[in-house]
Amino acid sequence: MCGSNSIPFSKDLSLKIGGAELGETPFPTTRIRKGGVLYYGGLDLSEEGVGFGVPILKRGLEEFFPGKCSLSFKVNGTRAEAIADFTMNLVERVAVGRGESVKSPLLYRVHHALASLHMACPWARSILDVVSNRSRRLLGIRTVFEEVESAGRVNVRYAIDARARLIRVTVRHIGSAGAPCGELIVMNEQGAHHFDRYTDSSGTLLEGDGIESWKEIAAEEATMTSSRFGVAFTLKQVEGTRLFRGRECVDRRFAWSGFAYAVSIPVSEFRYDVGIGLIE
């Protein structure tokens, strides 16, 4: 899959900046603009995952996702550079049936509390998933991402070295609009069905659902691997940030696997590397 905004890493593996076109996936996160997406033999490996280097701005309990993006891309031999200017104008909402989203602040406080419980308590996840899935089917509940007034802009530069299979990501928070945001989160995700194995430099090995949905990493270096395709991506700790791992795979609602950096605002910029591995 090597178009005008993609670069090959090997005969089968390539990286595309921008990911799937809108409407191409069945997940509610389709409206979120993607970053660096891996393709293997022409297959998009991201599923619900937003790709490498995608920002989220957090204001209290509310998270703002990028719904718009202006992108430039240029290639010079085995190197490429992409610059994405993300507008943070999408928020997650709950809708019932075909109606509009529910506006109740109480509902979203409960929603965030249950999501926090799901992440913090592995023993409760299967119960919460069953209750959630049945409620959604019976009541016609669905997740939607609605466009709102932008919370600000985040600029992301991707410097790609295809020979070294390395992506250097530089994130610059241009500024918030309206009430100030307190945290910048940078997601690095691919698809959960494809990336099902976690290892890190401390010796931890987790597979499938054992990876958990959201947990801070203490190890210096961590890797997600696709046991099917033999493709891996690795991130390292960055001073001044916190690094998290996660994976969720639930019906057609969740299918992401990867890492996130979290950093308090104000922050001017920070950079990190994504290393891409091929396992024989």
What is the 3-state secondary structure of the chain?
CCCCCEEECCCCEEEEECCCCCCCCCCHHHHCCCCEEEEECCEECCCCCCEEEEEEEEECCEEEEEEEEEEEEEEECCEEEEEEEEEEEEEEEEEECCCCECCCHHHHHHHHHHHHHHHHCHHHHHHHHHHHHHHHHHHCEEEEEEECCCCEEEEEEEEEECCCCEEEEEEEEEEECCCCCCEEEEEEEEECCCCCEEEECCCCEEEHHHHCCCEECCCCEEEEEECCCCEEEEEECCCCCEEEEEEEEECCCEEEEEEEEEEECCCCEEEEEEEEEECC
Chunked into runs of 10 residues, the chain (280 residues) has average pLDDT values of 74 86 62 94 93 94 93 94 96 70 54 51 51 49 82 96 97 83 95 96 95 91 97 97 93 85 89 93
Structural domains of the chain ordered from first start:
6-278 (2.70.98)
Token readout for 271 is 């950079």
Among 15, 62, 269, CA closest to 154: 269
Token readout for 144 is 């939607």
Q: Tell me how far apart the alpha carbons of residues 63 and 214 are, in angstroms, rounded to a whole number.
A: 16
- pLDDT for the residue numbered 129: 52
- pLDDT for the residue numbered 95: 63
Residue 86, judged by CB atoms within 10 A of its CB (0-12, 13-18, 19+), counts as buried
Note the pLDDT tens digit of each residue in 91-128: 988 666 565 665 555 544 555 554 554 455 554 555 54
Q: Tell me how far apart the alpha carbons of residues 166 and 7 are, in angstroms, rounded to a whole number.
A: 12
- Within 13 Å and on the Cβ side, how many CA atoms surround 122? 9
> Sign of dihedral through CA atoms 198, 30, 250, 119?
positive
